[in-house]
A = this chain, B = another copy of it.
Amino acid sequence: MPLSGQIHRQLMDAILDGTLTGALPSERELAETFGANRHAVREAIKRLQQGNLVEVNQGGATRVLDIPAHAGLDLLPELVIARGTFNDEATVGVLELRACIGADAARLCAERSPHVGAQLLDLLPHDAMSDAELAATGAAYWTALVTGTDSLPYRLALNTLMAGLEAIDDSPTAKHFMAALRDESRRTADLELLARAITRSDPAAAHATATRLLNTSITAVRNAADRP
A residues neighboring B (CB under 8 Å): 2, 4, 39, 42-43, 46-47, 49-52, 58, 68-76, 79, 89-90, 92-94, 96-97, 100-101, 104, 108, 147, 151-157, 159-160, 163-164
Contacts and interface: CB of A to CB of B under 8 A. Distances in A.
Most buried by B among A4, A93, A96, A147: A93
The 3 A-B residue pairs with the shortest CB-CB distance, nearest first, are A93-B153, A93-B151, A100-B104
A27 B46 CA distance: 17
Contact of A47 (B39, B46, B96, B147): B46
Contacts of A71: 156, 159
Contacts of A100: 100-101, 104
A101 B152 CA distance: 16
A108 B96 contact: yes
Given A46-B47, A104-B100, A155 B68 contact: yes
A157 to B, nearest CB: 5
Nearest to A2: B58
A153 B90 contact: yes
Given A73-B72, A159-B70, A151 B43 contact: no
B90 A159 contact: no
A72 B70 contact: no
A65 B204 CA distance: 35
Nearest to A79: B152
A89 B42 CA distance: 37
A76 B154 CA distance: 11
A68 to B, nearest CB: 5
Contacts of A156: 68, 71-73, 75-76, 79
A71 B157 CA distance: 9
Contact of A153 (B2, B70, B79, B155): B79
A72 B164 CA distance: 11
Contacts of A104: 96-97, 100
Contact of A43 (B43, B76, B90, B92): B43
